[in-house]
Amino acid sequence: MNKMRISQVTLAAVLGLMGYILVNAATAAEKKPARPAITKINRSEAEWKKILTADEFYVLRQQGTERPFTGRYHDHHEKGTYVCAACKLPLFSSSTKFDSGTGWPSFFAPIDAKHVEELVDNSHGMRRVEVRCARCGGHLGHVFDDGPKPTGLRYCINSVSLKFEGKSVR
Ligand code: FE
């Protein structure tokens, strides 16, 4: 009799625990972001060389920098979205663009934090933070902490890395 009671209690405890696990699993699923994570594009440098122009390959794949005031977007003021020149991922909105006077298109924020990757870059005797496209890994430019409000950041981006699309992608 006593054994029967113990097994009933054990069963109730197991059922209770299972219920708890199920409820928590459902809550965890709801907390997942609505949009899936970025799926990376992995192409060989030889493939990129075929796809990109010489200037695009130099900047996007070899961390090159266009000469200031020579790019197509440093003095560009239309409303729209700047996408990655290599993979077309939306990167920056005209609503965050500002005139930095540097000769490179400048933004105070990316269109989505998940669309860019930031890496410490110690090249050329400087400690800078490199900005890359989160999907194709293409080099975009650097981010500095001397930008305007509201973020105080200055994403200094090569025009060559971007393609402007007149109507908002989002
Ligand atoms: Fe890209």
- Taking the alpha carbons at both ends of the chain, their separation in whole angstroms is 67
Percent of all residues in the chain with a pLDDT value above 70, rounded to a whole number: 77
Comparing 10-19, 36-45, 68-77, 94-103, the range with the smallest average pLDDT is 10-19
What is the per-residue pLDDT across 105-138, written as a single tens digit (0 to 9) for each? 999 999 999 999 999 999 999 999 999 999 999 9
Please report, for the chain, the start and end positions of each structural domain, with discontinuous segments joined by +: 1-32, 45-165
Q: How far is the CA of 134 from the centre of ligand 1 (A)?
A: 7
Q: How far is the CA of 31 from the centre of ligand 1 (A)?
A: 28
Confidence category of residue 37, pLDDT binned at 50, 70, 90: confident
Active-site choice (84, 133, 136, 156): 156
What is the per-residue pLDDT across 2-35, written as a single tens digit (0 to 9) for each? 555 656 655 565 555 555 555 555 555 555 556 6
Report the mean per-residue pLDDT for the chain: 87
Contacts of 36 (CB under 8 A, 6+ apart): none
| pLDDT reported for residue 1 | 46
| pLDDT reported for residue 11 | 58
Distance (Å, rounded) from C-alpha 59 to C-alpha 48? 12
The answer to whether 156 is a known catalytic residue is: yes
| pLDDT reported for residue 52 | 98
Tokens of 124: 């050329």
Distance (Å, rounded) from C-alpha 99 to C-alpha 93? 14
Q: Where are the alpha helices (DSSP H) in the chain?
A: 2-31, 45-51, 54-56
Architecture of the structural domain at 45-165? Beta Complex (2.170)
Q: How far is the CA of 84 from the centre of ligand 1 (A)?
A: 5
Q: How far is the CA of 60 from the centre of ligand 1 (A)?
A: 9
Residue among 135, 136, 130, 67 at smallest CA distance from 102: 67
Position with higher pLDDT, 52 vs 33: 52
Q: How far is the CA of 73 from the centre of ligand 1 (A)?
A: 17
| pLDDT reported for residue 40 | 96
Position with higher pLDDT, 21 vs 157: 157
